[in-house]
Amino acid sequence: MEIDSEEMIRIQKEYVEFFQEHTGPEYLVGPFVLYNLTPEDRAMAAQGIPEIVTKQLIPIEWKDKGAPIQPFLLE
C-alpha cells in the first residue's frame, strides 16, 4: 500500500503536533532523545536539528537544567 504525498504531509504534520503537545520541556527532551541514540544514529538525527541546538543549547545553555537526566543518557 502506498501513501500519496498529500497524505504523507498530513501524517507528518499530525506527528509534529502530537510530539510538541506531549513532550517537554525542550531542555530535557532534546538531550534525552539525541543522546540515547547510537553514535551513528545520533549523527543522522542531528542532521535535521539546527546547529544552534546541538552546538549551543544542549551542551551549554541547557547543561545545568538537564543535569537530572544525565544518569539516563547513553553518553
Helices 39-46, 26-34: axis angle to 10 degrees equals 130
| Confidence (pLDDT) at 60 | 92
Within 10 Å of residue 48's Cβ, how many Cβ atoms? 6
Tell me the average pLDDT across 14-33: 85
d(Cα 54, Cα 14) in Å, to the nearest integer? 25
Q: Where are the domains of the chain?
A: 25-75
* Cis before 31 (ω within 30): no
Burial class (CB in 10 A: 0-12, 13-18, 19+), 66: buried
What is the rounded CA–CA span in Å between residue 70 and residue 67?
Answer: 5
The pLDDT tens digits for 34-71 are: 888 898 999 988 888 889 989 999 999 999 998 998 88
